[in-house]
Amino acid sequence: MVLRYDAGEVITAMVTPMSAKREIDYNAVEVLAKHLINNGSDAILVAGTTGESPTLTHEEEIELLSTVRRAVANKAKVVMGTGSNSTDTAVRMTKLAKKEDVDAILSVVPYYNKPSQKGMIEHFSAVAEASDLPVILYNIPSRTGVNMMPETVAYLAEKYKNIVAVKQSCADMDLVSELRIQCPEDFAIYSGDDSLTLPMLPIGAHGVISVASHLFGTEIKSMIKNFKAGELIAARNMHKTLFPVFKKLFMAPNPVPVKAALAHNYLIQDFVRRPLVELDDAQKAELFEVLDSVKSELA
């Protein structure tokens, strides 16, 4: 099946490197982006939740996009998070992303104001009509407070050809099955949680929008490739090996643990913007013990 738009199987929701002053370290952004595309990432998502989008200014988001685009030099696709709980803002940021020549956008279900399914349809219709950019919907009830139902996604996917995919961050596999049944076959479903990637593949997911791919991108890519090639035991074994990392990276609010892990690997400095706070020494020791154990098992 040819997808209406294919951003790849592993999209990394990239962290935003910060200095000790909590200012964006654009040199580190460039280094990290290059590292990701050399280690399993088909695309990079900038200004997503993992990129600390709630604390970024719109000007910073555009500069991040420009920096990553220069770094990847057409070796990978670049997706930008343009979502908002204000429809007008989501539309404006989508138009700005279009001007910056982004490959696709990710648009989250409006958070905090908890729209109805009809409200979601009107919101995403406005986003889809704002440009011809491919739109990846983002359903994450744990953060938005409301669940976008499969019939809503299917309606939007049928009506707008540039609504091309959904990032599903919800552990209910029945909802994933309903998405696959109700949505067009050329519409892509992405796992929004690393630990759900392998469970979602047999019921129709295409890949993952990942956090753990900062650290194990090549391994996650091989897991997906092995599953699709029918090498089910190899895929399952990789999932089992990486599972402790998948869970430990959410021992504290994302992206706090993954930033600590990247700093442990000397790729970025370990700073997040308030109201997030860095891990304490005991938490870091717990995280690093798991990371080092998994690395040893993979060696």
Q: Of 26, 111, 155, 167, which is the active-site residue?
A: 167
Tell me the one-letter amino acid at 96: L
Q: Clarify whether 248 is annotated catalytic.
A: no
Q: Is 204 left (phi over 0), alpha (psi -120 to 50) or beta?
A: left
Q: Clarify whether 26 is annotated catalytic.
A: no
Tell me which residue has tokens 């690093």: 288
Task: Report how far residue 280's alpha carbon sits from residue 296's, in angstroms, rounded to the nearest whole number.
Answer: 24
Q: Of 26, 138, 155, 190, which is the active-site residue?
A: 138
Q: Which residues contact 191 (CB under 8 A, 6 or more apart)?
A: 167, 168, 169, 197, 200, 205, 207, 208, 209
Let me know: does 165 contact 136? Beta carbons within 8 Å. Answer: yes
Q: Say what the alpha-carbon torsion angle 241, 247, 252, 255 is, to the nearest 10 degrees.
A: 70
Residue-wise burial string across 100-118, b where 16 or more C-beta atoms lie within 10 A, e elsewhere: eebbbbbbbbbbeeebeee
Residues recognised as catalytic? 138, 167
